[in-house]
Amino acid sequence: MTLDITDSHTHLDHPDFNGEEDSIVERALAVGVTRIITVGANDGFASAETAIRLSEKFSCVWASVGVHPIDGATPFDIGRLKSLTQHPRVVAIGETGLDFYYPDGAPAHVQEQWFRSQIVLAKEIKKPLIIHSRNAAIRCLQILIEEGASEVGGVFHCYSEDAAFAEKLRAINFLVSFPGPITFKKADALRVIASNIPLEQIMVETDAPYMAPEPYRGRRCESAFVVETARALAIAKGVSLEKVAEVTTANAKRLFNIS
């Protein structure tokens, strides 16, 4: 059976991929990765603009645009971000959220200004949110509730919280997405978490070029590798790889409104 799987979060605009985008997309398609969401949210708005150009070039690629919390020092200009969201290949806002991991990162109040503004924008244009949360899950959830983000929903990417927190996210119309670390030998706890979250709430991702799954760990990650992430999820859930591909892709198509 031919797979039909979606990489719900990659960074095809990353400098590590410069000049290799054609071969990366070709390798992804060859293993059944038929849809790719490339997230442009760094370096001011340059990353977003590149993500859009890539979505124009490849019919299997769509873009998300936003301002990443660790890039929160970007001069506040929600109008410019809104103009980028008008492109027909833009299917989401983000990644946005909060990152309290880095002590020298953007101040919390600056991150929060960008986060809240992007939620408001997402509601205005009726597109979902891609959430980055690091050492900030409870605060992210509070803000999403306060700003009424359930109206558009979204996904907590690179999910690392527990199943109980995922249930709280499901109550506000949010999915979770698992990247390569679910394949790591010492990631039993993460696989248990995944096993206790409904498959209908899950997507898979690479977050490439970061966190390549086994057996590629230590290498530059790319979209084709998402198959290994899906395979590990299938084992954790006790279902077939084809079933994981089918359901997670259906989730992505529904969330991002893509065909």
CATH code where residue 26 lies: 3.20.20.140
Pairwise CA distance, residues 127 & 63, whole Å: 12
**CA 245 – CA 233 distance, rounded (Å):** 10
Q: How far apart are CA 119 and CA 9, in angstroms?
A: 19
What's the Cα-to-Cα distance from 100 to each of 36, 103, 134, 235, rounded to whole Å? Answer: 28, 7, 6, 33
Domain range enclosing 147: 5-256
- The pLDDT tens digits along the chain (259 residues) read 689 999 999 999 999 998 999 999 999 999 999 999 999 999 989 999 999 999 999 999 999 999 999 987 888 999 999 999 999 999 999 999 999 998 888 899 999 999 999 999 999 999 999 999 999 999 999 999 999 999 999 999 999 999 999 999 999 999 999 999 999 999 999 999 999 999 999 999 999 999 999 999 999 999 999 999 999 999 999 999 999 999 999 999 999 999 8
Domains in the chain, number = 1
The CA-atom distances, in angstroms, between 250 and each of 5, 97, 198, 257 are: 9, 25, 14, 10
